[in-house]
Amino acid sequence: MISEKEIAKEFSGLWDDVLPLLTPQFVRLFNAVNSDDLTDYPQSKFNQIPIGRNIEKHDLVAELSFQLAKLSVERNIPVNSFNGETKDFKDAYHNSVAFLKKYASEDEMVILNPDEISEAFAIAMQYEHFFPYVKAENVEFSPTIAGAGYLGACYADLSVDDTLYEIKTVSRNIAGKDIKQLILYLALQHSTGTRRWLHAGFFNPRKSIHYKFSVDHLIYRTSGGKSASEVFSDIVDFLSMRGIEIDAIF
């Protein structure tokens, strides 16, 4: 099986066919028009959290912040009630290591330094401001996405009402591969016969940047006038082709 991230990043033939106008120029415009700096609002509770001096395991810090926020919502307890000794923190840490895999160790000791743990908590706190900001009623972390063809079932990041969000705890802008990954999730969900999300977006809890857009409008603009259902069907048909040579696509 191949991952959804590899499909979003590498399958240029697919994407050039279904979304020919999703060009670098479009992505630059997308970032300029759609990004919303949440720190700009009066009395904003959001903060920008630059990468600290002693932060080495950036990906683990990002994943831990996500897992802390997830457990906070699922167990209905505030993030700041966790600390490095609580079961909730250890559960979040072990979930992060299990997801990233490369940090697994036999003794299961927390390998993050104090500054990394502190930064993970600071990023996780941003979610507690985000959900009221978007007036969230139904929040689901890691919604399951059905597989198709040689792509197995996978997990998106965050569902908030009718919007599917990808979380990008990074210092860069949104890239074309990020948009393609979101569209891939939406296509797979559409193939189940139920269209769950009419909007999509990105949330960067490190930079306090929020993107939200109409799925239909984005597909129309980037496909050259096709409907979302047409594009989604083309993507799923491609994934479901029998006898396809995976290696030849790269």
Tens digit of pLDDT for each residue in 10-62? 999 999 999 999 999 999 999 999 999 999 999 999 999 999 999 999 999 99
Each residue of 110-165: pLDDT tens digit? 889 999 999 999 999 999 999 999 999 999 999 999 988 888 899 999 999 999 99
pLDDT tier at 1 (50, 70, 90 boundaries)?
low
* 142 and 221 inside one domain: yes
* Residue 53 resides in a domain: no
Do residues 121 and 65 touch, judged by C-beta distance below 8 A? yes
Beta bridge partners of 200: 164, 213
E strands in the chain: 36-37, 139-141, 144-145, 154-155, 158-160, 163-167, 199-204, 209-214
* Residue 216 resides in a domain: yes
* 84 and 208 inside one domain: no
Do residues 228 and 189 touch, judged by C-beta distance below 8 A? no
Do residues 8 and 181 touch, judged by C-beta distance below 8 A? yes
Residue 91, classed as helix, strand or coil, is: helix
* Residue 223 resides in a domain: yes
Q: Which helix (H) or strand (E) holds 33?
A: helix 24-34
Task: State the residue range of the domain holding 80.
Answer: 58-133
* 14 and 84 inside one domain: no
Q: Which helix (H) or strand (E) holds 99?
A: helix 87-100
Cα separation, 189 vs 194, in Å, equals 7
pLDDT of 104: 72
- Which of 133, 156, 184 is the endpoint of a domain? 133
Structurally, the chain folds into a number of domains equal to: 2
* Residue 237 resides in a domain: yes
* 126 and 173 inside one domain: no
pLDDT tier at 249 (50, 70, 90 boundaries)?
very low
* 83 and 112 inside one domain: yes
* 237 and 170 inside one domain: yes
Which two structure tokens, joined as six digits, stand for 78?
A: 């505030």
* 213 and 157 inside one domain: yes
* Residue 144 resides in a domain: yes
* Residue 48 resides in a domain: no
* 126 and 165 inside one domain: no
- Which of 100, 133, 166 is the endpoint of a domain? 133
* Residue 64 resides in a domain: yes
146 phi, psi to nearest 5 deg? -65, 145
Cα separation, 229 vs 19, in Å, equals 13
Q: How many CB atoms lie within 10 A of CB 103?
A: 17
- Which of 110, 133, 156 is the endpoint of a domain? 133
Q: What is the mean pLDDT of residues 72-91?
A: 88
* Angle at alpha carbon of residue 220, lines to 178 and 185, rounded to 5°: 35
pLDDT of 152: 87
* 81 and 28 inside one domain: no
In this structure, the strands spanning 163-167 and 199-204 are: parallel
* Residue 72 resides in a domain: yes
* 165 and 220 inside one domain: yes
* 62 and 89 inside one domain: yes
* 24 and 142 inside one domain: yes
Do residues 196 and 159 touch, judged by C-beta distance below 8 A? yes
